[in-house]
Amino acid sequence: MDFEFTLKFKLPPSLTDEDEIVELLGAHGCTDAFVGLGQTGYLGLDFVRDAKTAQEAILSALENVQAALPGATLVEAGPDYVGLTDVAQVIGQSRQNLRKLMIGHHQLFPAPMHSGNPSLWHLAEVLAFLKERHVEFPVPVFDVARTAMQINLVRQQPLLDRQLEASLGGRLLA
C-alpha cells in the first residue's frame, strides 16, 4: 500500500551542496521522495512509499535519510500539525462544512494544540473525531497522521522537564 507523508530535517553545516544531497538521498533509497531545499540548512521530503503499514513506511524513510545524511536532525513528520483548511482538504470537504461540524460539536471536537490565528490541531485527533461521526476519508491518511503525531511527540520527549511533569500529576490532562 502507498503511504504519503512528509519529513522535514535540519541539515548539519557540512551539507550545503544541493546536488550532493540529492545524490546521497537517491543512493540510499529515497528515490520515492520529492526533495525540497527551499530554506537554507533545511530539507523537506514528500514521500510516497510502498509498505505494509504507515509506521513501516515512515520508519524506513527515516532510516534511509539518516544513512544518506548523517547528522541531519528530524524537525517534523507530517501530516500532523494542521489548520481547518488542511483537514478539509484531507477529507474532501469545504472548510465551511468542517467549521459547522466543529461548532455543532464544540464540546466533543478535539482541543487545538495551539489556539490562535490559525488554530492548529493534531490531524490524527481530528480524523478520529470525524471517524466517530462516520465521515469518510482514506484509511492510510489516518494511519500516517497517527504515526506522524507519535513520532513528533517522541521527538519532543527530551525537552520535557520530568520534575515539572511529576508536579503536574496529570492535572492538565482532564
- Model's pTM, two decimal places? 0.89
Tell whether 69 and 8 lie within a shared domain. Answer: yes
Length of the chain: 174
| Boundary of a domain, candidates 27, 49, 78 | 78
Return per-residue pLDDT of the chain as tens, 174 residues.
999 999 999 999 999 899 999 999 999 999 999 999 888 999 999 999 999 999 999 999 999 999 999 999 999 999 999 999 999 999 999 999 999 999 999 899 999 999 988 899 999 999 999 999 998 888 899 999 999 999 999 998 888 888 887 787 767 655
Tell whether 68 and 89 lie within a shared domain. Answer: no
User: How many Å apart are CA 58 and CA 149, to the nearest integer?
Assistant: 12
In this prediction, residue 80 carries a pLDDT of 96
Tell whether 8 and 61 lie within a shared domain. Answer: yes
In this prediction, residue 169 carries a pLDDT of 74
In this prediction, residue 173 carries a pLDDT of 59
Q: Which domain holds residue 71?
A: 2-78
Check: CB of residue 34 under 8 Å from CB of residue 25: no
In this prediction, residue 172 carries a pLDDT of 66
Would 173 be classed as within a structural domain?
no
Tell whether 66 and 93 lie within a shared domain. Answer: no
Please state the domain count of the chain: 2
Question: What's 46's domain CATH number?
Answer: 3.30.70.100
Tell whether 36 and 101 lie within a shared domain. Answer: no
- Quick one: CA torsion of 63, 64, 68, 74, rounded to 10 degrees? -50
